Amino acid sequence: MVYSQLNQPKCMRVRCTGSELSLAECTIYNPEPIKTGVAVIKCYEEPPGECKKFLCANGKCLIHGKPCDGVDDCGDNSDEMCCQKCQGRAFLCKSGVCIPHYAVKDGIRDCLGGEDELDETDKAIENTFTDPMSEIREMRSSAESQVQCGIPNKQDDHSSRRKRSAGWEETLPTQIQWQVVIQDEGLIRCGGAYLGGCWVLTAAHCVRPKLKSFRIKLSVWKKHRWQSTTDIVPVKNIIIHHEYNPQTYANDIALVQLEELYLSDKCMQDNPAVRAVCVPWSTQQFQPNDTCTISGWGRGSTLKWANVTLVGDCEHYFKDRFLPGMECAGDLEGRVDSCQGDSGGPLVCTDTSGLSYLWGIVSYGNKCSETNHLGIYTKVVHYFEWIRSKTGWPAVTKFNQ
C-alpha cells in the first residue's frame, strides 16, 4: 500500500484475502497513523506455472515477501516456520517460528514457550537450563497450560469411541463441549460450534439479522431438557458472510457474537462443561481419508456423534455444485450422513497430539444415507482470515486467543 503524507510517499505492508469490504479489515503490518492524503493499494496475481521462490504449505506461491521475516505472507504461517534465524527485526521463537517485532512483550504469548513475553530476569533464569530435554518438557508444559481449545473431556470413554467405525451413537452428557444449540424463536433448528470468548460459528442458512429471535444454548444433552451445566445466552450480533448464496450454499458460514454479562467482558460464567474447539489455520492439517466426527440431534432428542471420512474427489459426486470453500465427507456405504444431524453443527478432526479442530460446518446433504452419496460441509480453514478479521482476535490459532 502506498500513501502520501506531506508530499512524501511511503509504503506500508498490507495483506488482504479478497473477502474484505474495506482496507480496515486487511492485516496491516507496522501500521502508522495517516492524518492526510490518500492510500492506494496495488494488487497482483500469482503467475501460473512452477513456483520459483517459496511454495507455501497451502499451495500459494510466495512472490512478494520473504520467509522468516515475521510476516505471515502465506496465510497459513508456513513461511514463518522451521526458521534457523529471522530476517530484519523479527523475533525467533525456540520452536523455530518467526514473529513480528511488535508482538514481543505485547501481553500475548505468541511463542509456544512464551519467551516473547519474558523480561531480562526471566531470560537469565531460563538460560540456566542446559539440558535440552528439560527445556523441551518445560516448553511443552507451558504450552499445554495455555491451550484453551480442542481439549476433549477427560471423562469421555475414548477407547470405545475410537473403536466405533460407523453409525450414530449417543454421547455422554458433557462429551462434546463445543456443541451448541441455536434456538430460533423458541424452536431448535440448528447446531453450532463454540470458538471461545463470546463467539459461535454456524451455517449462514441457520441465522438471519434478527438478534432478539435467537438464543444460544451451551452444554445441552437432551434437546428439550436442561441439565445442571446448561447455559443460555442472548445474541449480541450476527455476521453472515457477505458472499453467502442461499441458492448454491456458497460461503454458508456465519459468526454469532454472544452478549456479555452485566459489567463484564465475559458472556457466561466459567463452566467446566463448555470448551472451545480449535480453528484450523492450514489446509494441510487434515487430508482425504482422515476420519473425523460429526455430532447433532437430528430427529432424536439426545445428542449423538458418528465417524465420517473426508473425501478428496468431491467434484465427482457433486459436479459443478461443489464450490470453493466446501468440503465433503461421509460414509460411502450409506450408513451415516450429516443430513441426519443438525445444520450448522460441527465436523471435528483430531490431530496426532489429541487437539480437536473444527474442520467443517454441516451445510447440506444429498440423498441422505444412500450409497455413494455424501454430505457437504463449509470448510472452515478456507475462512480463517475472515474469522480472524471479524472476531478481532490477533490470531485464531490452536489457542483461540
Query: For a pLDDT cut of 70, what percent of the chain falls above it?
Result: 71
Residue 270 known to be catalytic? no
- pLDDT, mean of residues 353-379: 81
Residue 205 known to be catalytic? yes
159: confidence class by pLDDT, cuts 50, 70, 90: very low
143: confidence class by pLDDT, cuts 50, 70, 90: very low
Question: Given this model, what pLDDT does residue 204 score?
Answer: 96
Distances (CA, A) of 67 to 59, 60, 99: 15, 13, 11
Q: Check whether 353 has a pLDDT greater than 70.
A: yes
Catalytic-labelled residue, pool 79, 252, 331, 337: 252
Average pLDDT, the chain: 79
Instruction: Look at 57-71, 121-135, 242-256 and tell me which has the smallest mean pLDDT.
Output: 121-135
The residue among 146 and 206 whose pLDDT is bigger is: 206
Note the pLDDT tens digit of each residue in 298-313: 878 899 999 999 998 8
Q: Which among 311, 289, 304 is positioned nearest to 374, based on CA atoms?
A: 311
- pLDDT, mean of residues 327-343: 70
Question: Given this model, what pLDDT does residue 392 score?
Answer: 79
59: confidence class by pLDDT, cuts 50, 70, 90: confident
Residues 6+ away with beta carbon under 8 Å from 49? none
Catalytic-labelled residue, pool 205, 241, 373, 382: 205
Q: Check whether 82 has a pLDDT greater than 60.
A: yes
Q: Check whether 195 has a pLDDT greater than 60.
A: yes
Q: How far apart are alpha carbons 271 and 198 in whole angstroms?
A: 13
Instruction: Look at 171-185, 265-279, 281-295, 383-397 and tell me which has the smallest mean pLDDT.
Output: 383-397
Domains of the chain, with CATH numbers?
A: 2-40 (no CATH), 54-146 (no CATH), 176-260 (2.40.10.10)
Catalytic-labelled residue, pool 78, 219, 295, 343: 343
63: confidence class by pLDDT, cuts 50, 70, 90: confident
Q: How far apart are alpha carbons 337 and 300 in whole angstroms?
A: 15
Residue 224 known to be catalytic? no
Q: Which among 177, 175, 188, 157 is positioned nearest to 301, based on CA atoms?
A: 188
Q: Check whether 206 has a pLDDT greater than 80.
A: yes
250: confidence class by pLDDT, cuts 50, 70, 90: very high
Q: Check whether 128 has a pLDDT greater than 50.
A: no
Q: Which of 58-67, 115-124, 151-160 has the highest mean pLDDT?
A: 58-67
Question: Given this model, what pLDDT does residue 109 score?
Answer: 76
Question: Given this model, what pLDDT does residue 158 score?
Answer: 45
Note the pLDDT tens digit of each residue in 83-123: 999 999 999 998 888 998 888 888 777 787 788 888 765 55
Q: Check whether 39 has a pLDDT greater than 80.
A: no
Q: How far apart are alpha carbons 94 and 20 in whole angstroms?
A: 34
Q: Check whether 163 has a pLDDT greater than 50.
A: no
The residue among 153 and 291 whose pLDDT is bigger is: 291
Q: Check whether 147 has a pLDDT greater than 60.
A: no
Residues 6+ away with beta carbon under 8 Å from 364? 249, 252, 339, 343, 375, 376
Distances (CA, A) of 10 to 2, 16, 69: 6, 19, 20
Q: Which among 231, 228, 222 is positioned nearest to 304, based on CA atoms?
A: 222
Q: Which of 47-56, 271-280, 333-342 has the highest mean pLDDT?
A: 271-280
